Structure 1
């Protein structure tokens, strides 16, 4: 056989092997599950949380949301609800923990989110504190004083509601927009006379201040506030099973706390909550007891009942204060209890 023929046979053999290999691997790929779908399904879910104290922080610290859902989760900490809303609007996060006031403002602007779970009905975990050296002894002493609060937060709403209850005009006090870490720094410098805030800034203010009112009292005056879990609508449509798992994990912690608050507030759980929130461990049992945590049936009843009106009232109040431009006829399209069923 000539050298030329040997080359032709060799090249032909290589081509045949390549074709067979191509067919083999094509068939093998066809037999495999859709790997791109698997990758999409296993994509990390980004969730925004804040530093409020509630039972679900234990599940977060233990990695129970990941275990129960079998999904990868990236938890991102935010200082204010308005920051969380911005992240939800941009798609940087798909689930977020925010208060009812920023939620009312966001849904009034048609940010595509919906409440699917109530974290808590707020009580003493958010409070209005005045500095001991400020000379403030009665609500009327607030006139002319400087009060710090994160704007369009639940505490901002509660502060304005409290001033209205005390018949104090908003323009008779100086209200400054500061995030909780900035409030702590301003408080330590003596730049502010009072603040309405949550943990961990709240405990730091209370160390040298007096509580004038908390969100439980303001709620009794007719302006209740909530901490909420909200989700982008597109994510909710595509991942209902994840939301059901998320709800189940959260309600398990709520039931555990409600069944025996003292047992739940053991040193191990308290330490886990402290690490996530930055609160002092000694304050956490009291902070936990300051809010109301709704069980499954209470969640469904509230979300399908009074909640929409509470949000409408909040939005109406915010519009009256010039904090939002419009109010919707109702907010039911932004509320869903189907993941709790």
Structure 2
């Protein structure tokens, strides 16, 4: 049996992890020459500060191609890298970003008390599936994790899926430790972690050595607790610009490239992620990507899942849930 991680569970809602991330160092994330804007350009001339994570997908493709810069030619566009969705929420709270990519649990946390940020969900990017999973070094079933230490990232989609998986298995005595993806990779490699629910390159590395007990998609199928990746924006930016329409058109364009020329999409995304093309493709395929029209058709389900996530965070003592209308009104994309 591997040694337990000795770090205690983090108590703070906002724990900065901005310097931690799986992938190449920040200095190697260089934009390519911006491509021509494939849609009507925006006339907005303010700041568009984007908080992103190194999650292979449409946002990294847009960054690599410089398409946000091309389609907001009069704006001051900048990108800020964060390790987790909860860190993106911290970026909003500190006023350092206007747009952010984060999962539904950190989004629900941000919209709930005591954080209570004035944000809108302008895009539902995807539904989490096999790209997040619970992996154990020795255990072959979730039930074997009773009383064990399990690692995940605080207030993330993986954290939410883990809690739902443990609840469904009737496990109430597992100890949960919070680590960033990069810190988990180091701890797993050192043999200090017995099990973890995580995503991305860290997950792929763990799956090479451990047993995959369940995935986020399987948890959602069993419990109804689906998780999503959102693009959020401040209400101020939404009210004073065309960010909602332009961002969705850009995201749809990125999905067109993925569906029509996946090799180009993977190559561009792998550059930003600092990963090889094969692993990048695997991580992209671990999600169910949504066009804007598909998300609109699922709007009632997405709003319901966001509210249920907030309710669950309330039950866990992480946040204080508000009325359902509050979350329904926040989802506009």
TM-score by length of 1: 0.79
Match of 1:32 in 2: none
| Residue ranges of structure 1 left out of the alignment (5+ in a row) | 1-39
Match of 1:151 in 2: 154
| Residue ranges of structure 2 left out of the alignment (5+ in a row) | 1-42
Q: Indicate which of 310, 314, 317 corresponds to 1:319.
A: 314
Greater helix content: 1
1:203 aligns with 2:204: yes
Q: How does 1:159-174 map to 2 (within 5 A)?
A: 159-169=162-172, 172-174=173-175
**Larger Rg over CA atoms:** 1
Q: What do you get for the CA RMSD once the two structures are aligned?
A: 1.8
- Residue 237 to residue 43, structure 1, CA distance change in 2 (3 Å): closer
Query: Relative to structure 2, which stretch is displaced further, 90-99 or 289-298?
Result: 289-298
- Residue 327 to residue 41, structure 1, CA distance change in 2 (3 Å): closer
Match of 2:82 in 1: 78
Conserved 8 A contact 2:124-2:230? yes
Match of 1:7 in 2: none
Match of 2:230 in 1: 228
Q: How does 1:250-289 map to 2 (within 5 A)?
A: 250-257=251-258, 259-260=259-260, 263-264=261-262, 266=263, 268-289=264-285
Counterpart-to-counterpart distance in 2, 1:275 and 1:289: 17
Conserved 8 A contact 2:109-2:310? yes
TM-score by length of 2: 0.81
* Residues paired across the two proteins, number: 286
Counterpart-to-counterpart distance in 1, 2:274 and 2:195: 21
Counterpart-to-counterpart distance in 2, 1:316 and 1:123: 22
1:216 aligns with 2:217: yes
Query: Relative to structure 2, which stretch is displaced further, 269-278 or 292-301?
Result: 269-278
Conserved 8 A contact 1:255-1:295? no
Counterpart-to-counterpart distance in 1, 2:143 and 2:77: 48
Counterpart-to-counterpart distance in 2, 1:102 and 1:279: 26
Deviation digits for residues 54-96 of structure 1, max 9, x if unmatched?
2342222010111122233211110011111011122100000
Q: How does 1:44-123 map to 2 (within 5 A)?
A: 44-70=47-73, 71-109=75-113, 110-123=116-129
Conserved 8 A contact 2:140-2:213? no
Deviation digits for residues 182-219 of structure 1, max 9, x if unmatched?
11111111111111111122122222222111111111
- Residue 200 to residue 286, structure 1, CA distance change in 2 (3 Å): closer
What SS does structure 1 have at the residue aligned with 2:289?
Answer: coil
Q: Indicate which of 126, 136, 152 corresponds to 2:132.
A: 126
Counterpart-to-counterpart distance in 1, 2:168 and 2:188: 25
